[in-house]
Amino acid sequence: MKKYLLAMAIVVATASMAFAGVPYVLPAGGGVNTGQYHSYDGLICTDCHTLHNSDGGAAVGEAGYSGTANRELLKRGDWTDMCLSCHKDGQNTSATAALDGVEDSGWVAPIVMTLDGVDPAGKSLPAGDFYYSNLDPKKGHNPAYTKGSMTTATSLFMTADPVLGSTPPGGAITDGEWSCHSCHGMHARFSASYSAWRQVKRKVNGVVVTGDVSGFGVETTAGGETQNAAYEPIKSNSRGDLQNGGLDYVAARKDANPLEGADLFADESDTNKNVYRGGFSSFCSACHGDFHGGKDETRTTDNGKTRVSGTWLRHPTNVKMNEAGSKYGISTYKVVVTNKQATNPNPVGYDWKYPLVQPDDNFTVKRAVASYTDAATAIGDDKIMCLTCHKAHASEFENMTRWDTNAHAFIANGTTDHTGGVDQIAGDNPAYGCGKCHQKGGAKAFVKAF
Q: What part of residues 33-52 is at the interface with ligand HEC (CB under 6 A)?
A: 35-38, 43-45, 47-49
The answer to whether the beta carbons of residues 192 and 224 sit under 8 Å apart is: yes
CB of 23 or CB of 67, closer to ligand HEC: 23
One residue of 275, 379, 400, 445 binding ligand HEC per CB under 6 A: 400
Cβ-proximal residues to 265 (8 Å cutoff; 6+ apart), any chain: 108, 110, 122, 123, 124
CB of 7 or CB of 312, closer to ligand HEC: 312
Query: Does residue 355 come out as left (phi exceeding 0), alpha (psi in the -120 to 50 range) or beta?
Result: beta
Residue 291's Cα: distance from chain center in Å? 20
The closest alpha carbon to 80, from 4, 156, 135, belongs to: 156
330 binding ligand HEC? (CB under 6 A): no
- Residue 298 to residue 302: CA distance in whole angstroms: 8
Q: What part of residues 234-293 is at the interface with ligand HEC (CB under 6 A)?
A: 238-239, 261, 264, 274, 281, 283-288, 291-292
387 binding ligand HEC? (CB under 6 A): yes
The answer to whether the beta carbons of residues 198 and 247 sit under 8 Å apart is: no
Q: What is the CA radius of gyration of the chain?
A: 24
431 binding ligand HEC? (CB under 6 A): no
Q: State the binding string over 78-117 for ligand HEC (x if CB under 6 A, else -).
A: -xx-xxxxxx---------x----x----x-xx-x-----
Q: Closest approach of Cβ 10 to ligand HEC, in Å?
A: 27
Angle at 370 between CA 183 and CA 430, to 5 degrees: 85
Q: Any idea of the CA torsion for 21, 43, 209, 393, to the nearest 10 degrees?
A: -50
One residue of 77, 329, 349, 430 binding ligand HEC per CB under 6 A: 329
Find the distance separating the first CA and the last CA of the chain, reported in whole Å. 78
Cβ-proximal residues to 449 (8 Å cutoff; 6+ apart), any chain: none
- Residue 366 to residue 294: CA distance in whole angstroms: 27
- Residue 145 to residue 154: CA distance in whole angstroms: 5
Q: Closest approach of Cβ 211 to ligand HEC, in Å?
A: 16
436 binding ligand HEC? (CB under 6 A): yes
- Residue 189 to residue 179: CA distance in whole angstroms: 19
Q: How many chain residues interact with ligand HEC (CB under 6 A)?
A: 100
Cβ-proximal residues to 304 (8 Å cutoff; 6+ apart), any chain: none
Amino acid 53 reads N
Q: Closest approach of Cβ 3 to ligand HEC, in Å?
A: 35
One residue of 231, 354, 397, 432 binding ligand HEC per CB under 6 A: 354
Q: What part of residues 200-219 is at the interface with ligand HEC (CB under 6 A)?
A: 200, 204-205
Q: Closest approach of Cβ 422 to ligand HEC, in Å?
A: 20
Using the rule CB under 6 A, give the single segment among 242-250, 368-376, 394-402, 418-426 that binds ligand HEC. Answer: 394-402
Q: How many residues does the chain have?
A: 450
CB of 66 or CB of 309, closer to ligand HEC: 309
Q: State the binding string over 216-245 for ligand HEC (x if CB under 6 A, else -).
A: ----------------------xx------
Q: What part of residues 49-78 is at the interface with ligand HEC (CB under 6 A)?
A: 49, 72, 74
One residue of 183, 218, 365, 378 binding ligand HEC per CB under 6 A: 183
Q: What part of residues 123-182 is at the interface with ligand HEC (CB under 6 A)?
A: 125-127, 130, 137-138, 141-143, 161, 164, 166-170, 173, 178, 180-182
One residue of 207, 386, 411, 431 binding ligand HEC per CB under 6 A: 386
CB of 135 or CB of 341, closer to ligand HEC: 135
Q: Closest approach of Cβ 385 to ligand HEC, in Å?
A: 7
Look at the alpha carbons of 69, 74, 75, 78 in this order and tell me if their dihedral is positive or negative: negative
